[in-house]
Amino acid sequence: MADAERFQLGKQFLQAFLVQMLHTGTTVGGDDLKLFGMGFEQAGDKPAAASLEMAEDPHLVGEPGPRIRAMVGLVHPSIETQADRRPERILHLQHLTADYGAFRSLGKDTLSVLKSPSPSKKIQLGFREHISKYKLQNERKRPAGGLIRALSAKVAQQFFPGGISLAKPASAVTVGEFVDRKSKQEHPEFTHMAKYKLEYLWLDGYEPVANLRGKTQVKEFDTFPELEELPMWGFDGSSTRQAEGHNSDCMLKPVAVFPDTTKKNGVLVMCEVMMPDGKTPHPSNARATILDDPGAWFGFEQEYFLYKDGAPLGFPKGGGFPPPQGEYYTGVGYRNVGDLAREIVDTHLDLCLDAGINHEGINSEVAKGQWEFQIFGKGSRTAADQMWMARYLMLRLCEKYGVDVNWHCKPLGKDVDWNGSGMHTNFSTKHMREVGGKKYFEKLMAAFDKYKNEHIAVYGPDNHLRLTGLHETQSIDKFNYGIANRGASVRVPHSFVNAGYKGYLEDRRPNSQGDPYKITSRILQTIKTVPTK
């Protein structure tokens, strides 16, 4: 493809992208002070495009209240921009044209303008998102968000309606990749290889709770790799309790792929552990043998404690307890949530969304230092893959803060008046959502009662410490259900009853250390025993 053709294609994409940005009223806000840059260059005497980069303003970093918020675009030089009373805060664009000139900016050091790029034979296409971390006044760091990726996904449909198969969520595809894909569709001779950092993740052989393990390899791909392009990879199973030292080889089989926006060309690869032949699932590989149903929906409510120096965040140094439970759940303010946890959980939310994980919300929990995030997925394997990946991202993020994630279901002990941690599992099947009925529901609950011991066996270790009948739990040896009853084994939402016993139910027995592969499979096994006719 000729340089001029590539330039025009990128130019069209950029125009559509900016129109989408303006029409949806999208803003760049929050803490993303150094978010992104974008630009085009074309050989010649006159500038064919402009480049924009939001810059750190030392006068705004760490200042309370709203930080820089800006709407950006390419405007004709003759058209002036307007701003509100605080031009360093908000930049409004009044018009967008196909005649690309220079960015017009207001506010010192807020926007940098490239008015006369040097002539170049090399055409630079696409956005480059600055994932490099910026420093806040309190010395903490966090990666920038994925605004460009989210908007470019919407525009992509205008250019490639159903014409390109993406290995990763569309929200993580940049304009440059679309240009390259389009180029290769029309001109197969055009190639562009990039080095991708593949972080292979798997579950080890520790019992009763497996640990996440990971290692990275670098490989070249012309675009973000699709799942079938990722090779199997070996590892030393003798160091993960999955093999003996004299025959230690195990294999990693990629089963799900996610973009990692904290790294340039970062890729997160969820794997199953296989035997040396690469075909036989390892005995520790729970994912390979679970019951799956694409029509089954699962929502996990993952509770956990954030620990520092051996105690939950907010607990007194040197021992003892903070004020008793009461105001911590969904709490606001320093005395309830401190000065560190909120930054961690908000950053984790951004990381999950950037990776295409269906993260649906967060809240502080009943105990001091306790939090929850929610993950939703369709099909037991897909839902559990995303749950494990969300756990990994939380663990890796907390490394930067010197904080540990304590997943134990009762870390403060059984005999204290502090809540434990669960992983309440919301579930529904197509039949439950579309047909349901009171008779079917009653038969379903009878089956859950019948197999209560089988459920408890895979609902996480040490559950006897948590399921005591106290702190919003039912006793471990009993099964019951109740409408809006958080002390029941299964909570029945009012919406379920009001819809004619259709919708979803919440099993409150799984604990925070439970394996979502095993939990979802057991739920489906029990549901399968109940006739639908």
Q: pLDDT tens digits for 270-304?
A: 999 999 999 999 999 999 999 999 999 999 999 99
489 vs 473: CA distance, rounded Å: 7
Q: Structure pTM?
A: 0.68
Between residues 137 and 21, the one the model is more confident about: 21
Contact 360, 374 (CB under 8 A): yes
Q: Is 491 helix (H, G, I), strand (E, B) or coil?
A: strand
33 has pLDDT over 90? no
525 vs 508: CA distance, rounded Å: 17
Question: What separation in angstroms does the CA of 98 have from each of 53, 77, 121, 167, 381?
Answer: 21, 12, 23, 32, 46
- Per-residue pLDDT, 9: 52
pLDDT band at 222; cut points 50, 70, 90: confident
Of the segments 14-23, 350-359, 512-521, which one has the largest average pLDDT value? 512-521
Average pLDDT over residues 33-37: 27
Between residues 451 and 124, the one the model is more confident about: 451
Of the segments 40-49, 186-195, 396-405, which one has the largest average pLDDT value? 396-405
Mean pLDDT over the full length of the chain: 73
Between residues 124 and 7, the one the model is more confident about: 7
8 has pLDDT over 80? no
- Per-residue pLDDT, 134: 23
- Least confident piece of the model among 8-12, 255-259, 388-392, 528-532: 8-12
- Whose CA is closest to 224, among 152, 133, 294? 152
Average pLDDT over residues 436-441: 97
Which region holds residue 74: left if phi is over 0, alpha if psi is between -120 and 50, else beta? beta
- Per-residue pLDDT, 245: 80
Between residues 59 and 366, the one the model is more confident about: 366
Characterize 44-64 residue by residue with b for buried, 16 or more Cβ atoms within 10 angstroms of its Cβ, and e for exposed. eeebebbbbbbbebeebbeee
248 has pLDDT over 60? yes
515 has pLDDT over 90? yes
448 has pLDDT over 90? yes
Question: What separation in angstroms does the CA of 318 have from each of 6, 307, 440, 446?
Answer: 64, 14, 54, 49
Contact 302, 374 (CB under 8 A): yes
Contact 506, 445 (CB under 8 A): no
85 vs 113: CA distance, rounded Å: 22
pLDDT band at 127; cut points 50, 70, 90: very low
232 vs 485: CA distance, rounded Å: 46
- Per-residue pLDDT, 142: 29
Average pLDDT over residues 223-250: 93
- Per-residue pLDDT, 323: 95
- Least confident piece of the model among 24-33, 218-227, 510-519: 24-33
302 vs 425: CA distance, rounded Å: 9
- Per-residue pLDDT, 111: 26
Average pLDDT over residues 404-417: 95
Average pLDDT over residues 238-262: 93
pLDDT band at 247; cut points 50, 70, 90: confident
Token pair for 132: 């490099």
Characterize 96-121 residue by residue with b for buried, 16 or more Cβ atoms within 10 angstroms of its Cβ, and e for exposed. beeebbbbbbbbeebbeebeebeeee
Average pLDDT over residues 374-388: 96
Which residues, including other chains, have CB under 8 Å from residue 293's CB and lie 6 or more apart? Answer: 379, 380, 429, 524
304 vs 421: CA distance, rounded Å: 6
- Per-residue pLDDT, 141: 30
Average pLDDT over residues 140-153: 37
Q: Is 298 exposed, middle or buried (0-12, 13-18, 19+ CB in 10 A)?
A: buried
88 has pLDDT over 80? no
- Per-residue pLDDT, 192: 54
466 vs 416: CA distance, rounded Å: 11
Question: What separation in angstroms does the CA of 140 have from each of 15, 53, 498?
Answer: 36, 22, 47
**For residue 377, which amino acid is it?**
G
354 vs 261: CA distance, rounded Å: 6
386 has pLDDT over 90? yes
Share of the chain above pLDDT 90, in %: 60
- Per-residue pLDDT, 417: 92
Between residues 29 and 12, the one the model is more confident about: 12
What's 384's DSSP letter? H
395 has pLDDT over 90? yes
448 vs 427: CA distance, rounded Å: 13
Token pair for 396: 């890796």
Between residues 103 and 339, the one the model is more confident about: 339
- Per-residue pLDDT, 12: 55
DSSP-based helix, strand, coil % in the chain, nearest 5:
25, 20, 50
Average pLDDT over residues 69-88: 27
Which residues, including other chains, have CB under 8 Å from residue 36's CB and lie 6 or more apart? Answer: 53, 54, 127, 128, 129, 130, 144, 147, 148
CA 109, 115, 121, 127 dihedral sign is positive
444 has pLDDT over 70? yes
- Per-residue pLDDT, 366: 96
Q: What angle do CA 410, 412, 415 make, to 5 degrees?
A: 85
